[in-house]
Structure 1
Amino acid sequence: MQGKVADIVLTSNAVFTGYGDAPRTGAVAVAGNRILAVGTEDEIRPLVGPETKVLSYEDKLIMPGFHDFHVHVLLGSLEQQCINLLSAKSEEETAQMVKAYADEHPEYPWVIGFSWYHVHWDEKKLPHRSTLDKYIPDRPVFLFNAECHGAWLNSKALELAGITRDTPDPQFGEIARDENGEPTGFLYETAMALAKQAFEFPTERRISLLQGFLDHAAQLGVTSVGDMFPLVTMELGDLDMYRQFEEMDRLSVRIHFLTELDGDLEKPRKLRETYRSEKLQFAGLKNFLDGVPTTYTGYLLEPYADRLDTCGDTLIPKHVIEDWTVQADREGFRIRYHACGDAAVRLGLDCFAEAQRQNGARDSRHTIEHIEVLHPDDLPRFSELGVIPSIQPEHLASDTFAGHTYLARLGPERSRRTWPINSLQKSGATLAFGSDFPVVGLDPITELYRAVTRLHNDGQPEGGWNPEERISMADALRAYTSGAAYGNFREHDLGTLEAGKLADIVVLDQNLFAVEHERIRDTKVSLTMMDGKIVYQKEEE
């Protein structure tokens, strides 16, 4: 460090390095794209030269950049530019909202929307294509539901996708049909991929989509992401565009992307060799073990409390999942499995255990995504197998507490095992937080609020849903920074404020350790630095 001068110095009464359980007064010095030093202001003062920019933040919180471990970049970029339908209370209202959006955007060949949710409607039944046809008969419409595990299409979209009464259901998916066998317009799971032409965009829009995501992420302090290309057999990613942005020095978020685990490892081998930079990396393989409990597609060990004839099921036969896991693990790939139900979580752990038995133990950092309900017998297995629990706390508050679908789906006993964040942490597992954007918003502050309070937007239930699963603010921040960095094999470069690490730093406008819980969600980002460059700075009011 002798003789070096900082380009930028950030000072504050609240610097959270990622170590310890509270911030401290100090400063962070940055030179080039790396952290030069972290210490007291007296220790950092010799690094200040005549050209050094010194930014003083008083009581604002300086911390590592947020590392969102689970997003869908292209899908989220699209959601930012399309209509969000979550507020609609009926099928008719949803269609009217889509009509208004379509009229405002005649330039888009396909009308795309997000987040309608029939379980929130006054009549809690799935919609029909005829309602969309009434308002938009001549342009194709593709509307993701709130979970992105189903889509509502109009007749024009079905026509362009070639979906008729004679179209067979794809494996692990379903084309919903009426009593006469005609498609209703709702596609479950893998059936959505039949209409993937909706996501073929010209270059100008692809540029706009990615830049929109990068700008949004910078405003929220997100400096790294895990980008999940697979969406139930439909891959949505844009590596060519990512690479172009990186080459033009416009990639202001580090992207660690995953492609589909499907038994064919030729493509992943090439991706692993090709994408290895500090900003754009291949990070492994992903697939879906089940769906979601809301639509009874989550795979449970015991039948649903409100539908005793089903436990849900796997999206892929169990023996196929195990074979793919063992094969990919043997070649050194890391695997991340979507698993919401307790049976799906157990299946994923069983597959990872079998891979260890056949291939030997290694530092694989295999991951289970979501873990919305967990059987107690499987709790210690995460630590024992070195499996990372990847959790998105905002999912637990998808509705008011009293109206939460999971209370009915799981019943009182299993509801006590939902989103077992603290239990997993105490078991010795390394937590990694993310958002699952655009299933919910990208803002990490919301995720932190859920993790430390377990409260819904209505402030219920008192004390939080399963309050024993709350964690401290320090632990929540670590899950969103160093935990996610560890999950992506980046702990040597990212996740904490330390000399020598990449300068991905965020300043929040209030100290999260010093505010009441009800004020956490008021927090905004004052500054985002990625790779030593300021990519967002809030204008002073």
Structure 2
Amino acid sequence: MTIKKADVVLSSKTVFTGCKNIPEPALIAIRDNRIIAVGEEHDLKQYIGQDTVIHDFGDKLIMPGFHDNHLHIMMGALAMDSVNLFDARSEEEAVDMVHDYAKARPDDPWIIGFQWDSSYWDDKRFPSRSSIDRIIPDRPVLLFHAEGHYTWANSKALEVAGITRDTEDPPFGSIEKGVNGEPTGILIEGASGLATNKAFDLPKAKKEKLMQRFLKEAARFGVTSVNDLFGTNTNKKLQDFELFREFEEKEQLTVRIHLYPPLDGDLKKAKQLREQYDSEKLRVSGLKQFIDGVITSYTAYMLEPYADHPEKQGEPTFSPDTIKKWAAEADKEGFSIRFHAIGDGAIHLALDAFETAQKNNGPRDSRHSIEHVEVIHPDDISRFKELGVVASMQPDHFALSERGVYTSKIGDQREKYVFVINTLKKSGAKLAFGTDFPIDILNPMQQIYRAVTRIDSSGSDVWHPEERITLSEALHAYTHGSAFATFRENELGTLEAGKLADITVLDRNLFKVPEEDILDVKPVFTMVDGQVVFSEELVSK
């Protein structure tokens, strides 16, 4: 039998295929868009022909491409084009940063920012519209909190959005008002949508530029697949599946996109989208919905009241009956469902919904998942394996919020069950990692570092060291785990013959790097579908 020659061969002394826990010397033969062989040099010589291009990476680590299990493409792309306020340590400093940005962008109709977090400010208090009004009174300003579940707006933004003292709170949202009854400028959960409905009405040319920037960023970080999840009604104006298709048709789509439109009871539309988008690079892979909000705004749904505000407990975004009904109906139609659930009450309700679906429709390989899994009741840990539910987590998230502020809200007892990554893994739950970009940056090393160190927001203290996992486990969750969650483990997630050639090369052997240096590691080469989409340092022979 004639052996077909490889188009490309990648080689290194350290190749992490994902099939073993440690890297080994290997060559990877690629033809068209698939891996045709992986092995030692003497076994792969038969695949090397006169026209085969060989890339020898020496000691650099070759591994499966990173698969971000949870992000928001267009929201993240917009964040990259906006002012980042994470380093601000006071309301005044944040306002100064916004002012400088606005002066540099005089033609922008809206000034948009991300990542402010008052838990790191001295007074810990929410900011107000008046501080922005003093320096930008004539242009609308909308600034997203670091967790993305509430916004800080100036008076002009409120005016454009039609928000006044008489505006009623939208479903699962609130317009914060002062003692005088006037809006303070803080819009929580669904209330942010009143402003983003105006701010995010972008022309197509702008969206195209944002998408191009996102693709470049993904390639630079070695991200070859992403799961783009419905991100609340606040960014529905940014969702543009047809834009993604246009990039695919022009052969400009340099990352695989798995779409998760909303689970909202409209299964007719969901099925149409599933039929409409079903290619190797762009497909609907399931449905997503929110069960609660976040801890810092007291919108995460808890089984018991918050420790520092006993009158607050959070509440589900929809009634438990509605959530269970939607889940059972979508499960019956073969959809994989992903629920945002941060509080222990929300996680419990999500598991109950999946259990109800299983009882109604019979057990199947559904691969439903819970997103974030921040504060869990210990009784619910074992239910992930029992119900076949994926734990979709972003390890760096526990270091984004100021730890003392976060834990004061949930109290000492619940603090023991925050981001229990290793406990879930040992219980038999499938782990899948991502970033929730733009809540966190797209760089996978942030998540890997936090998963193996558990260093908290102080930068030095370890938060529950027993919840650390190994490097190979973290990489597996970020590659095969995400592929499994998306029903693509037979095509993606490991380097094996027959799989799609989505490959990343890091600038050094990650397994030999001290933990404190993980954040310095970066990709030098990214391949998607057998094509090089990023190359910083390439040695050819």
Residues of 1 paired with 2:377 and 2:245: CA distance?
A: 42
Residue aligning to 1:282: 284
Cα deviation for residue 458 of structure 1 reads: 4.4
Equivalent residue number for residue 77 of structure 1: 77
Residue 525 of structure 2 corresponds to 527
Q: CA deviation at 1:3?
A: 2.0
- Does residue 1:124 correspond to 2:112, yes or no? no
Which runs of 5 or more residues in structure 2 are unaligned? Answer: none
Q: Return closer, same or farther for 1:193/1:533 CA change in 2, 3 Å cut-off.
A: same
Tell whether 2:483 aligns with 1:485. Answer: yes
- 2:213 equivalent in structure 1: 212
Report deviation, 1:294. 1.4
Q: Do 2:12 and 2:62's aligned partners in 1 also have CA atoms closer than 8 Å? A: yes
1:434-445 correspondence to structure 2 within 5 Å:
434-445=434-445
The aligned counterpart of 1:142 is 142
CA contact (8 A) 1:149 1:232 kept: no
**Match in the other structure for 1:88:** 88
Kindly provide the amino acid, as one letter, of the partner of residue 181 in structure 1. Answer: G
Which residue of 2 is the match for residue 387 of structure 1? 389
1:416-443, Cα deviation, whole Å (9 max, x unpaired)? 2111111111111111000001101111
Q: Tell me, what secondary structure is at the counterpart of 1:338?
A: strand
User: Residue 305 of structure 1 corresponds to which residue in structure 2?
Assistant: 307
Please give the secondary structure, in 2, of the residue aligned with 1:361: coil
Percent identity, aligned pairs only? 52
Aligned to 2:191: 191
CA-CA distance at 1:233 after TM superposition: 5.8
Shift of 1:404: 3.5
Rounded to whole Å, the distance in 2 between the matches of 1:158 and 1:283 is: 37
For the 8 Å contact 2:67–2:482, the answer to whether it is kept is yes
Counterpart of 1:115? 115
Structure 2 counterpart of 1:346, which letter?
Answer: H
- 2:465 corresponds in structure 1 to 467
Q: How does 1:7-406 map to 2 (within 5 A)?
A: 7-195=7-195, 196-232=197-233, 234-235=235-236, 236-399=238-401, 403-406=403-406
CA 1:301–1:530: 2 relative to 1, 3 Å:
same
Quick one: distance in 1 between partners of 2:518 and 2:130?
A: 44
Separation of aligned partners in 2, 1:239 and 1:450:
32
For residues 499 and 477 of structure 1, what CA distance do their matches in structure 2 show?
Answer: 20
Q: In the alignment, which residue of structure 2 is the partner of 1:516?
A: 514
For residue 395 of structure 1, report the CA deviation from its aligned partner: 0.4
Separation in 1 of the partners of 2:255 and 2:538? 24
Residue 364 of structure 1 and its aligned partner are, at CA, apart by: 1.1
Q: Which runs of 4+ in 1 moved over 6 A?
A: none
Higher mean C-alpha displacement, 34-43 vs 91-100: 91-100
Could you tell me how far 1:307 is from its partner in structure 2?
Answer: 2.0
Range with bigger deviation, 304-313 or 378-387: 304-313
Q: CA separation in 2, counterparts of 1:341 and 1:458?
A: 23
Partner SS state of residue 513, structure 1: helix
Unaligned runs of at least 5 residues, structure 1: none
Question: Could you say what secondary structure the match of 1:131 adopts?
Answer: helix
Residue 509 of structure 2 aligns to which amino acid in structure 1? N
Q: TM-score, normalised by structure 1?
A: 0.97
Contact 2:400 2:457 in 1 (8 A): no
Per-residue deviation at 1:113?
0.6
SS in 1 for 2:296: helix
Describe the SS at the equivalent of 2:191. Answer: helix
Cα pair 1:233 1:260 within 8 Å, conserved:
no
Could you list the per-position Cα deviations for residues 39-69 of structure 1 after superposition, in whole angstroms to 9, with x for gaps in the alignment? 0011112211111111111111100000000
Cα root mean square deviation, aligned: 1.5
Q: Which residue of 2 aligns with 1:450?
A: 450
Deviation of 1:479 after TM superposition, in Å, equals 0.3
3-state DSSP of counterpart to 1:240: helix
Structure-2 separation of matches of 1:342 and 1:13: 45
The one-letter code matched in structure 1 to 2:412 is P
Aligned length: 537
